[in-house]
Amino acid sequence: MISLNVATKEEVDSLIERVEVNGGQITGRPTDAYGFYGASFTDLDGHHFNVIVM
């Protein structure tokens, strides 16, 4: 799994929207949990990613 850190919740939401529009699979919708805001997805090749705001 590859983790990406972004500065704002809006960046998480924007990235997840772009992933979905371009054929990626959202495996975890954006949510607040344990002091983080984040989401997870897989790309077209099946690689796993998460994107979070800390």
Residue 19 is part of a domain; what is its CATH number? 3.10.180.10
Helix (H, G, I), strand (E, B) or coil at 23: coil
Count of domains for the chain? 1
* Residue-number span of the structural domain to which 6 is assigned: 2-53
Q: How far apart are CA 9 and CA 16, in angstroms?
A: 11
Going by pLDDT thresholds of 50, 70 and 90, the confidence category of residue 52 is: very high
The single residue listed with the structure tokens 């990235």 is 15
Q: What would the two tokens of residue 34 be?
A: 């344990």
**pLDDT of 14-27, one tens digit each?**
999 999 999 999 99
Q: How far apart are the first and last CA of the chain?
A: 17
Exposed (0-12), middle (13-18) or buried (19+): which is 49, by Cβ within 10 Å? middle
Please say if the pLDDT value at position 54 is more than 90.
no
**What is the average pLDDT across 30-35?**
95
For residues 41 and 3, give the distance between their C-alpha atoms in angstroms, rounded to a whole number.
10
Give pTM, 2 decimals: 0.90
